[in-house]
Structure 1
Amino acid sequence: MRIAVFSDSHDNMPNLKKALQWIEKEKIKIILHCGDICNSDTLREMADNFSGKIYLAFGNADDCSGINKLLKTKKLPNVFLCGEIGEIELVGRKIGFCHFPEIAKEMAESGKYNMVFHGHTHKPWESKINFCRLINPGNMAGLFYKASFAVYNTKTEKLELKILEILN
């Protein structure tokens, strides 16, 4: 199984749509979003244009009340809000995700996770704390760095950084 990991979309719908089209074509069925999707309209568009599940952790630029209101008034069965910290288990691998690098580091140090993803800095990055991989997939908005996201294959444990401008 492969999952896509986004962060820091900052309402950039053209980039999100391009990434969503690619992951749909690749038959990826789970997106983890590490925050700063920003407003509820962006989340609704994302949910409407993706057939799989979207797990969202809040970031500092998110309109949390607007997103919560959207989910209370609209049926978005494929969106799961995780608050500040999200976690899922896939094929026996515990994966955590959040927005802030400091929180991600604490999560990685806890020994509870095999992988922890985070955003906020917009810079793609990978390091390791004990046995836990700590990863920033970059940013979908293309702010400060090229727009990017990560794809993780749970079977092979391969992690790929996808640069939006060279997706095929």
Structure 2
Amino acid sequence: MTASRTPTGPAAAVRALALAVCLAVTALATGCRDDTAPAWDHPRLAATLNALSTALAQGCATPDPAHCADRLDRLDTLARRAFTEVLDHRLLDQACLDAESDVRRARTLRLAATTTARSPAPDRSPDRSPDRSPQDPRRLALARAVAAEQAAYRRLLAALEKVRTTPPPGAATGPA
């Protein structure tokens, strides 16, 4: 007689049970889902927020706060576009308004710090270049203002992303 290639007995039963459990867990974890984005996901707003996030991450590749300040000026256009899209979709909530106010305040402070940092020191004559030392108090104030504006943009981005991904009341959010 030849030996059978299919295992029998308790070992085969345990393997079959383990495979069945793995398949059941996988099916429950993934669900029967539709891979298309829901109608309330706002893909155009998602693209704008992605661009804003990328620009914010790449904005300060160098430690120079003046360079970062110039890059933050470019973020304002993307932030305004995202905020306008949120208004268009009527997604606005108090967290978005607070984050937008924080960005405006931080921007105003950063613009003032930028002007101060670029002006000559009071004890220097106007024909001499301003102090470019990293320990210059005006540059430190600019660095703090830039960091505060970046943090405000991150809070705005998080608030906008939250309202974008929150389903409207009564929307079907479970797997199909």
Length-normalised TM-score, structure 2:
0.22
Structure with the larger helix share: 2
Structure with the larger strand share: 1
Which structure would you say has the larger RCO, counting Cα contacts within 8 Å and 6 or more residues apart? 2
Length-normalised TM-score, structure 1:
0.23
Looking at CA atoms only, which structure, 1 or 2, has the larger radius of gyration?
Answer: 2
